[in-house]
Structure 1
């Protein structure tokens, strides 16, 4: 099928705003960030070319290594749990009908639309050592109340829990959309053959919803590698740097220590990690889905 000159011009006109915006707002800043990472420039202003010195320094920076490990720990605490929880909630919500389904779905999605500052206020109140209502549950299972954001063992898991509560509504919506694409006739045929609920899930639901699962895992991996807001508000990286993460390391070097070149080096490293890990994960998950 051949397109006329008018159709081709119309296509270029429609695509041009996105391409220009992408080049100006993403490609150009990315190139400048890479260039800046090879200098000792401050946050604002020019600097001298230092080559790979920043990257060599970064590989020996203990605080950066700690931040990378803490970021990885946070990813382990959130990515797979929030995906599985989202799928479980979506399967339960999909069994409801009418206004009740809409009401329950809205209840799960409501936290997702809250600003991070509101989430911070809600959970600092709920987890307050003296007056927080969540401390009753902690006291029941732990035996005593805990200042969770000032305890190095509780701080990161607590921030991870709050993050799952806050962001999981979006995952639920994605899974609901995936489940609705599965024909009810398939389940009816399986029921006639005597399949149990577990067999239906293992042989029908899980393989057919796998592409959505791969998408959710990839999105969550990218988002959680960039964790900053919750950490900065709840713990400021403490106690004793136990929740210090990579984006906070970038923030400190850029805006507090005025090391623009070094901060750009960390940003490039994080960008490379996100690209490589997310692409590899998505490809592995896609291959896994093709074999299921």
Structure 2
């Protein structure tokens, strides 16, 4: 009976995840185009990746983007959640809605909003630069400004979900613990360090892991904001796979890059999980 109940899920999971993953690994050892068969080339696709400048740029940009977004975005959301948790009633609901609203926007709308805001010629931000006496900057056409700008936009766009997770964790902490701390005349910092932070660490570890996986697969924002700029300098790993597969018709090399990204995501996620477990044990 149990096998019959589990069988549909196992079948669907195998069809939409296991089989495509196996095929991805198989194609990565061939010189196949995007559509069609190819001949077996062994590890040639993998060997060519490490000597290619565009792949190295994509690998570095992905790591740089993760560095700019994962930890800053997580702790920004935590700080906002702490502030919202102190509010009450309709005001709390209104402020939470303001922070969550960007999360439900499609990436195309996010692109239009920020392209309009940071446009070199007529963007609102550029008029503020003029008032402050700062030279205008073509943000999305400058290699040094591009990744920090997209990272800031990504944090603004995705923080709402993390804020909800942190709020759920904060509301799960029994009020009696804080009342006992208040009776002991514990300071705000001591209460946070000894009560809030240890009890919120599992949620923080979860948000860090989710953000790490999501930001390593960054593509949409980079693709859209690179329009009319220097896309080869702003490459990330998924963008590199897209170029190889859909623009160069090199399915085998695209599959090899996708396998490398898959292994990196799995490896980094496992390491992050182990580090968060060790940190939790140390906090105790």
TM-score bucket (shorter structure): over 0.9
Deviation at 1:141, TM superposition (A): 6.4
Shift in Å at residue 16 of structure 1? 2.4
Q: CA deviation at 1:112?
A: 0.4
CA drift of 1:139 comes to: 4.7
After superposition, the Cα gap between the structure-2 partners of 1:63 and 1:203, relative to the gap in structure 1 and judged at 3 Å, is same
Over aligned residues, Cα RMSD in angstroms? Answer: 1.5
Quick check: 1:267 aligned with 2:277? no
Q: How many pairs align? A: 283
Any idea what SS the aligned residue of 1:163 has?
helix
TM-superposed CA distance for 1:27, in Å, is 0.4
**Alpha-carbon distance between aligned partners in 1 of 2:221 and 2:85, rounded to the nearest angstrom:** 31
Q: Residue 27 of structure 1 corresponds to which residue in structure 2? A: 18
TM-superposed deviation, 1:136:
3.7
Please report how far the alpha carbon of residue 134 of structure 1 lies from its aligned counterpart in structure 2 after TM superposition.
2.0
Query: Structure 1 residues 236 and 15 mapped into 2: Cα distance closer, same or farther (>3 Å)?
Result: farther
Aligned to 1:172: 163
Contiguous gaps of at least 5 residues in structure 2: none
1:5 equivalent in structure 2: none
Asked whether the 8 Å contact 1:39–1:261 carries over to 2, the reply is: yes
Cα distance in structure 2, aligned partners of 1:82 and 1:146: 24
The structure 1 residue matched to 2:186, chosen from 182, 195, 208, is 195
Match of 1:65 in 2: 56
- How far apart, CA to CA, are the structure 2 residues paired with 1:241 and 1:48? 29
The separation in 2 between residues aligned to 1:208 and 1:229, in whole angstroms, is 35
Indicate which of 201, 205, 214 corresponds to 1:210.
201
Partner of 2:122: 131
- Correspondence 1:285 to 2:273: no
* Structure-2 change in CA distance of 1:141 and 1:24 (3 Å): farther
1:174 to 1:142, Cα distance in 2 relative to 1, 3 A? farther
Q: Please, what TM-score do these two structures have when normalized by structure 1?
A: 0.93
Q: Pairwise mapping of residues 1-292 of structure 1 onto structure 2 (< 5 A)?
A: 9=1, 11-139=2-130, 143-236=134-227, 238-239=229-230, 241-292=232-283
How far 1:143 moved relative to its partner?
Answer: 1.3
Structure 2: how far apart are the matches of 1:136 and 1:201?
41
Return the offset for 1:140: 6.0
Q: Shift of the alpha carbon at 1:256? A: 0.6
TM-score (norm 2): 0.96
In structure 2, how many angstroms separate the alpha carbons of the residues matched to 1:86 and 1:233?
Answer: 25
The alpha-carbon deviation at position 138 of structure 1 amounts to: 4.3
